Amino acid sequence: MKLSNLRVDPARETEGVWVTFPGSDFELKIARLGNPAYEAALAAARRDLSPADRREIGAGVNSERARSLMAPIVASTIVRDWRGLEDDAGDPIHFSAGECREMLEQEAFKDLFAFILGVASEGELYRGERVEEAAGN
């Protein structure tokens, strides 16, 4: 293994990488959890939170309160873009942080929220040779 394949790419961490939601053609561009914008937004949010709400953030996406606290942060600092999403009438839904936040706040989309957080914590995606290039895509 080349040493360069172990190095984290700061641009990928903040700008994101394209991934496909399982079983679909819906693609999201996801920045790494812990990127500078995420850390700043999380620190600012925590300053204003009660101890109970701080615990909720750690509860994950199964808690309605945690989703409502984390959705704005994730939508504005982790999800950078998407493509291939349509409403039920077949009309495209263009990415905006507001649209993303509204979706992530809903329990119906907790699997999407969990997917985003899972991808954002996969260090392998944000270092060395691009995953798409390694796969030959």
pTM, two decimals, is 0.84
Tell me the per-residue pLDDT of 78-128, one tens digit each, with 9 for 90 and over.
999 999 999 999 999 999 999 999 999 999 999 999 999 999 999 889 987
Give residue-wise pLDDT tens across range 13-52.
Answer: 999 999 999 999 999 999 999 999 999 998 888 888 777 7
In sign, the C-alpha dihedral spanning 76, 77, 79, 80 is positive
Task: Label residue 134 by pLDDT band (50, 70, 90).
Answer: very low
Residue 60 — left, alpha, or beta (φ > 0 → left; ψ -120 to 50 → alpha)?
left
Q: 47-55 — which CB contacts under 8 Å span 24+ positions?
A: none
* Lowest model confidence (mean pLDDT) among 29-33, 47-51, 55-59, 68-72: 55-59
Cα 113 to Cα 11: distance, rounded to the nearest angstrom: 23
